[in-house]
Amino acid sequence: MKVFKLILLISLISLARLNAQDPDSLARVLSLEEAINIALENNFDIQIARNDLQIAQNNNVVGNAGLLPRVDLNGGYDYSSNDAKLTFANPEQPPIEASGAVTKALAGTAIVRYNLYSGGSRLNTLRQLENLNYIGQLQLRASMELTILNVMDQYLTSVARLAELNLREESVIISLDRYQRAKENYAFGAFSKVEFLNAEVDLRNDSTSLIDARLRFENSLKNLNNVMGISPDSVLYVADEISYNENLDLGLMLDEALMQNSNYLISRANMDLSELDVKIARANYFPTLDFSGGYIYSKSDNEASFITTSRNNGWTTGLTLSYNIFNGGNTRRAERNAKIRTETSQVMIEKTENQLKTDLLTNFNNFETNKELLALTIRNLELAEANYQRSQEAFTTGEITGLQLREAQLNLLSARFNVIQLRIQTKVSEVNLYYLSGTLVEPVENLN
């Protein structure tokens, strides 16, 4: 009865897995391309990067660099009521004394101000804003690349888990067949009870491994949903086919990386920002020239005054030249710090380039080595399959024991699993090469 329950449990697990992978079932098989497209639309990091880019685009205007004039309109009205007494030095002028004298004043100005010269700081500030906008585009691209890389990695993990699940199911089927044969042979006295019990133990172990494999597969799907930015309980499944490009050119990828890798381009853009910081700091050594012009209107009425009404209106214009003689050494200090940041940026470029080349060479070597190993493991798999077929025949005729058949079964399972793992590793190396060479996403136009 216990064995019957075990077999029923295995059957239900297998049936549920097959139904889940059936395209006609409620679950939909998701291709890698579809998974990437979903992630690019929903991934949270990409949404944040898009918002940051929008801010950089909003800031990248000439007005934010001080290249447009400033226009101010000012107006005011004052009213007061006071007791006043005015006595004049001239004795012929009688004093003025008023109770509750009203004073009214009306004023308005329209002033235009524009900086004519500031040592080039405004133009360099505008170039900085353009570079920050460019960096924002690169950061969005880098976020998209990293998202695609994570989706591919998690998708391939799910494919590996699915392949493992298939192997565990097949192993259960094989062990179940061996168990049934051992049971029949034990009933007829052809097998010992130890042989029969060993077959049952192996069946139970394989059943446990099957349940664990299904759990790992389901968890990998939840992680994939999370990377795509959708609900973890969304019912989606992966295709179990893996292909890769056999002919990758390392030299071409090295050239593409130095022209398109987002992190490397960001390090170069930061270098440009540092050089502009030096120029902006040096601008403080030069004088500034400002222009102002406008229209002024004022009128005042005073009941307790020698002049009861006064009005002024007309145009005004002027130039202001200013030059800082000493500001505590702040200009010199800002220039030195900007130069140090430039040197640091140059070191970061060299570091990024060296790391980029190292990662490319490492992943390319992994890719080529994995292809060679895959060819060998496929050959080993063919031998393992032939060996298992012969072992099955020998077990049927009683030439080998169940333990020897079990060993052939485990060798076959290991060989199949090694092929799957190497295919996954080869694909991962290929994807990393695309990521490092900057070919996962369309390049950003360089502003320089």
**Which of 40, 51, 258, 62 shows the shortest CA–CA distance to 136?**
51
Least confident of 90-104, 202-216, 314-328, 352-366: 90-104
pLDDT of residue 9 exceeding 70: no
Q: What are phi and psi of 31, to 5 degrees?
A: -80, 165
pLDDT digits (tens, 9 = 90+) for 61-77: 999 999 999 999 999 98
Lowest mean pLDDT among 24-38, 43-57, 240-254, 337-351: 24-38
d(CA 257, CA 246): 20
Please report which confidence band the pLDDT of residue 304 belongs to, taking 50, 70 and 90 as the band edges: low
Contact 46, 147 (CB under 8 A): yes
The answer to whether residue 1 scores a pLDDT higher than 50 is no
**Looking at this protein, which amino acid is placed at residue 357?**
K
pLDDT tier for residue 170 given thresholds of 50, 70 and 90 = confident
Judged against a pLDDT cut of 90, whether residue 189 lies above it is answered with no
pLDDT tens, position by position, 241-274: 777 888 889 999 999 999 999 999 999 999 999 9
Residue 194: which residues within 8 A CB-CB, separation 6 or more? none
Angstrom CA distances, 325 to 115, 127, 284, 319, 414, stand at 20, 28, 10, 19, 80
Confidence of residue 429 (pLDDT cuts 50, 70, 90): very high
Mean pLDDT of 304-329: 85
d(C-alpha 214, C-alpha 166), whole Å: 9
pLDDT of 27 reads: 57
277 confidence band (pLDDT: 50, 70, 90): very high
Average pLDDT, rounded, for the chain? 86
Q: Could you tell me what percent of the chain has a pLDDT over 90?
A: 54
Q: What is the pLDDT of residue 303?
A: 64
- What pLDDT score was predicted for residue 17? 47
| For residues 83-92, average pLDDT | 69
Q: What is the CATH number that goes with domain 2-60+120-286+329-437?
A: 1.20.1600.10
pLDDT at 243: 79
Q: Is the predicted pLDDT of residue 125 greater than 80, yes or no?
A: yes
Domain limits, the chain: 2-60+120-286+329-437, 70-117+288-322
| Measured distance CA(7)–CA(183) in Å, rounded | 14
Nearest to 208 by CA among 383, 360, 428, 6: 6
Identify the band that residue 198 occupies on the pLDDT scale cut at 50, 70 and 90: confident
